[in-house]
Amino acid sequence: MITNDNVRKKFRDNEIPKLYHPLVHIFINFGILIALTIFFILKLENVVWYEWLWLLVLFLFGNIAVFLIHKYPLHKKGFFLGAYSFKKHAIQHHSFFQKDKPEFDYWKDFYIVFFPPEVVIGFGLVFIPALYFILSLLLGPNSVYMILLGATSYFLLYEFVHFSSHLPENHWALKIPHLKSMWEHHRTHHDPKLMGDYNFNIVYKLSDRLFGTYYK
Ligand SMILES: [Zn+2]
Ligand SMILES: [Zn+2]
């Protein structure tokens, strides 16, 4: 019989590279995202009140953008980078973490919890510089840095909240009501019968409510 324990053992044996170190993974992902966040904060100068509204716009836009990325390329084949993202997420992440056991066992399991480092490196070295280039043709420096700050800090929040959604149910961090609520939301998403249709939000439940994909 194929149990989730067998799936996890097989994944650890066959997919996690022998040289994989969770601290290096954390250092790359969080190092890049935290460094960019601090850098963009430091670039802000003499901000006027309405420029802060960019952060609100980015947090709304980020919620919808991540919802669409999760609902489509991560859960359906045939989209941009579909084979890669579908395999990493819908196949590997979802078969490793199922509703009955949403928590990781070992530090090495971080390999399948956090985004692959190449995605975060691509975000930091390609996507953000390209966005900077385009935005700086259209907007003033504070607006540009606010947008980049919003994009980077939303990604950081995604990594953090998704990680906390794979903690054991009795973990102290889940005493924070919002984290516990997102933990439950994501746990439902890890039900194989529901994962393709419901609960795609990770940071907060806006798009699932807006687009009718909220399953309690
Ligand atoms: Zn998913
Ligand atoms: Zn997950």
Residues 80, 200: Cα–Cα separation, whole Å: 18
Domain boundaries, the chain: 4-95+113-210
134 C-alpha to center of ligand 2: Å? 32
Q: Is the pLDDT of residue 106 over 80?
A: yes
Burial 170-193 (b: 16+ CB within 10 A, else e): eeeebeeeebbebbbbbbbbbeee
CB 66, CB 202: distance < 8 Å:
yes
Cα–Cα distances (Å) from 117 to 30, 138, 194, in that order, read: 10, 31, 28
Question: How far does residue 70's CA lie from ligand 1's centre (Å)?
Answer: 6
Query: How many angstroms separate the CA atoms of 157 and 138, rounded?
Result: 27
CB atoms within 10 A of CB 93: 18
Mean pLDDT of 166-174: 97
**Model confidence pLDDT, tens digit, residues 176-186:** 999 999 999 99
Q: What's this model's pTM, rounded to 2 decimal places?
A: 0.94
Ligand nearest to the backbone CA of 162: 2
Q: How far is the CA of 47 from the centre of ligand 1 (A)?
A: 38
What is the DSSP secondary structure assignment for residue 166, as one 8-state letter?
Answer: T
80 has a pLDDT exceeding 70:
no
Taking 70 as the threshold, does the pLDDT of residue 135 lie above it?
yes
Whether 8 has a pLDDT exceeding 80, the answer reads yes
Mean pLDDT score across all residues of the chain: 95
**47/74 Cα distance (integer angstroms):** 37
Distance 184 CA to ligand 2 centre (A): 11
